[in-house]
Amino acid sequence: MNFYFLVEGDDESVIYPQWLAHLRPELQRVRQFDEAVQNHYYLFNAKGYPKILNEALPLAIIDVNFVGNYDYLVVCFDADEDTITEREQEVADVLQVGQNQLQPPTQLIPMIQNRCIETWLLGNRAIYTDNPKNNELKSFLSYYHAAYADPELMGNPKTIYKSYYRTHARFHKRYFQVLLDELGIRQAQRLEESSKKNYLDQLQARVSAEPSHLQTFQTFMNFCQRII
């Protein structure tokens, strides 16, 4: 099987290949989309939303139709302020445009991160400390303790925090950054740390213990586990 991953940004372009190496080591990455033969995947960084849908997805459809041997086109991007249903509809709308018809055998899979990939990363209970020293982190934990409550359900904090946190995604990214700061993990190391197998194992342990948590992360895990 061959897979074409279209990801929203730089973080996903680092994390997804590492997680795929842990979950499906038989899949080998190719550098050019037309190099896929068998058990290969290609990954393209769309560099943001809405560019991933307006520009990159139509071009990816051209790519996979041209090659003709991709089983899945997986579009990975954030829900941010929208619902999963709304984001899925945006993908469906792209496919309604005449020249964007995806040809068999390729199936399109929207892989939507609710609210962003840092939301998933907040699910690792091992990065939380019992007695944090950072006052900003204390305020976050007091507002919503994501080690115990589902990170994907964390509310919009803009009514109680400064305008910097005006969106869910910006707040979740900052929450994650401050958690790692408390552990002495520098900003430059955060992607390396969250890409490791033990980090992924912690997320898997979280959803095994709390099956109702991190539903969109579970969608990603279930997809990786069922493909053969």
Per residue of the chain (228 residues), what is the pLDDT tens digit? 999 999 999 999 999 999 999 999 999 999 999 999 999 999 999 999 999 999 999 999 999 999 999 999 999 999 999 999 999 999 999 999 988 999 999 999 999 999 999 999 999 999 999 999 999 999 899 999 999 999 999 987 665 555 567 788 989 999 999 999 999 999 889 999 999 999 999 999 999 999 999 999 999 999 999 875
Q: Is residue 162 part of a domain?
A: yes
Residue 220 lies in a domain: no
Query: What is the total count of domains within the chain?
Result: 2
- Of 113, 142, 175, the last residue of a domain is 113
**DSSP helix/strand/coil, 40:** strand
End residue of a domain, out of 86, 113, 140: 113
Residues 128 and 91 in one domain: no
Whether residue 143 sits in one domain with residue 105: no
Is the same domain home to 138 and 99? no
The answer to the question of residue 217 being in a domain is: no
The reply to whether 7 and 107 lie within a common domain is: yes
Task: Write out the residue range of the structural domain in which residue 158 sits.
Answer: 119-210
Residues 101 and 162 in one domain: no
Residue 218 lies in a domain: no
Of 3, 149, 2, 175, nearest to 76 (Cα)? 3
Asked if residue 197 belongs to a domain, the reply is yes
Residue 59 lies in a domain: yes
Would you say the pTM of this structure is higher than 0.85?
A: yes
Instruction: Give the whole-angstrom CA distance, residue 222 versus residue 119.
Output: 18
Going from the C-alpha of 24 to that of each of 17, 20, 70, 122, the distances in angstroms are 10, 5, 17, 23
